C-alpha cells in the first residue's frame, strides 16, 4: 500500500514513474498515441473518498474527473459534513472510511491530521494539500515544465514571494528531481528551514536572494503564488502586501530571466498583485497547461497508490 504524503517521502524513482505515466495518459487521451492507458478503466469498481476541510476548485474537480475517467466513483465530503476530529478521532474516522472506500484524498489545514489519517487507514491516503505542503500541485508543475522544455534536472527555478506550503513542495521536488531553486522574498517569509535542508541534502543548489532581479538571472522557470490566504485578516493582508510588493512578477522581472523561461502560478491568482496580467497572459505563461496537468498527474498518483 502506497500513501502519497509528500514528495520528500516518496521514492524518486516512483515520482519519475508517475510523471512519465501522467504524460503517457495525457498523450493517449489526446489521440497522439493508440490505446489510452486509462481505457482499461483501472479504477472500475473502486470508490474514492475526497475530503475537503479547505475550499477547493482545481483539486476537487481534477480528482473527481480523474476518478471518473478511470472508471471509478468518488464521494465528496466536507469537513463540516464529517466533523473531522470533533466527536470522533481522526484515527477512528480513517478506520471506518477504510471499510467503505478504496482510496482517501484529504485537503486539510494541519499536517498532523493527514499524518494521523494515513497512520490509521488501511487504504492509501493522498495529500491534497496541507498548510505544510502541496505535493500534487508540484507533480503537475514538473510535468508541465518537461512538456515544454524537456527534463527539469539541472534547471534553475526561481520562487518569488512567500515561502509557503507550495514552495515547500517545490523544495522537496528540487531534491528529488535534481533541479536548483532560488527563493526571493522578504526574510520574514523565508521557506521552511527543514525543507531547504532536505533539498540540499539531495544535492540541489538552494539559494536565498533578496534582490528579485538578481534572483531571476539565468532562471528557466519563475513561479509565484498568492500573497494572502483567504483566512487572513485585513490587517495581515495589508502588512503582507507591503512586504511582498517588491517581488511582484512583471514583464521587467521576466525579462531578467532566460529568454525561454516559463512562468507558473498554481492559481487562483490575484492579477495585479503577485503577478501582472501582462505576464499571466503572455507567451511565457503556462498557467493553464499547469492547471490541466493537475488532472493527469493526480490520475498517475492514484494509480500508483492502488498499484493499477
Take residue 22 and report the three cell numbers written for it.
Answer: 501522467
Each residue's pLDDT tens digit, 70-82: 999 999 998 777 7
As a whole number of Å, the CA-based R_g of the chain is 19
Confidence category of residue 87, pLDDT binned at 50, 70, 90 = confident
In the prediction, which pLDDT does 233 show? 65
Q: How far is CA 97 from the centre of its chain?
A: 25
Q: What is the mean pLDDT of the chain?
A: 94
Looking at 46-55, 222-231, 233-242, which range is the least confident one? 233-242
In the prediction, which pLDDT does 226 show? 94
Looking at 3-7, 74-78, 192-196, 290-294, which range is the least confident one? 74-78
**Is residue 76 packed enough to be buried (19+ CB in 10 Å), middle (13-18) or exposed (0-12)?**
middle
Q: How many other C-beta atoms are found inside a 10 Å radius of the C-beta of residue 266?
A: 22
CA gap 34, 21 in Å, rounded: 15
Give the catalytic positions in this structure: 107, 134, 137, 225, 266, 294
- Residues 83-109: what's their mean pLDDT? 91
Each residue's pLDDT tens digit, 199-221: 999 999 999 999 999 999 999 99
Each residue's pLDDT tens digit, 264-293: 999 999 999 999 999 999 999 999 999 999
* Beta strand segments in the chain, E: 47-52, 73-78, 103-107, 125-129, 156-160, 180-184, 206-208, 221-224, 262-265
Amino acid at each position: 500500500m502506497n500513501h502519497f504524503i509528500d514528495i520528500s517521502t516518496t521514492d524518486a524513482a516512483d515520482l519519475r514513474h508517475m510523471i512519465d505515466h501522467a504524460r503517457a495518459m495525457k498523450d493517449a487521451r489526446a489521440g497522439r498515441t493508440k490505446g489510452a492507458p486509462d481505457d482499461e478503466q483501472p479504477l472500475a469498481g473502486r470508490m474514492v473518498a475526497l475530503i475537503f476541510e479547505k475550499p477547493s476548485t482545481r483539486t476537487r474537480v481534477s480528482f473527481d474527473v480523474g476518478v471518473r475517467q478511470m472508471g471509478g466513483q468518488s464521494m465528496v465530503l466536507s469537513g463540516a459534513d464529517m466533523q473531522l476530529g470533533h466527536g470522533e478521532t481522526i484515527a477512528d474516522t480513517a478506520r471506518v472510511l477504510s471499510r467503505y472506500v478504496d482510496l482517501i484524498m484529504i485537503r486539510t489545514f494541519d499536517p498532523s491530521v493527514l499524518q494521523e489519517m494515513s497512520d490509521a487507514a488501511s487504504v492509501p491516503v493522498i495529500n491534497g494539500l496541507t498548510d505544510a505542503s502541496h505535493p500534487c500541485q508540484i507533480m503537475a508543475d514538473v510535468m508541465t515544465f518537461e512538456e515544454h522544455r524537456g527534463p527539469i534536472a539541472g534547471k534553475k527555478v526561481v520562487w518569488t514571494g512567500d515561502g509557503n506550503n507550495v514552495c515547500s513542495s517545490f523544495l522537496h521536488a528540487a531534491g528529488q528531481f535534481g533541479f536548483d531553486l532560488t527563493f526571493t522574498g522578504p526574510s520574514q517569509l523565508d521557506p521552511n528551514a527543514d525543507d531547504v535542508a532536505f533539498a540540499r541534502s539531495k544535492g540541489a543548489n538552494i539559494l536565498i536572494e533578496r534582490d528579485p532581479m538578481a534572483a531571476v538571472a539565468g532562471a528557466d522557470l519563475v513561479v509565484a503564488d498568492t500573497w494572502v490566504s483567504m483566512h487572513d485578516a485585513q490587517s495581515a493582508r495589508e502588512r503582507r502586501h507591503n512586504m511582498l510588493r517588491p517581488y511582484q512578477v512583471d514583464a521587467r522581472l521576466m525579462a531578467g530571466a532566460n529568454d525561454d523561461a516559463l512562468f507558473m502560478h498554481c492559481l487562483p491568482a490575484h492579477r495585479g498583485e503577485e503577478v501582472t496580467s501582462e505576464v499571466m497572459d503572455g507567451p511565457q505563461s503556462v498557467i493553464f497547461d499547469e492547471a490541466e496537468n493537475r488532472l493527469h498527474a493526480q490520475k498517475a498518483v492514484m494509480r500508483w497508490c492502488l498499484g493499477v
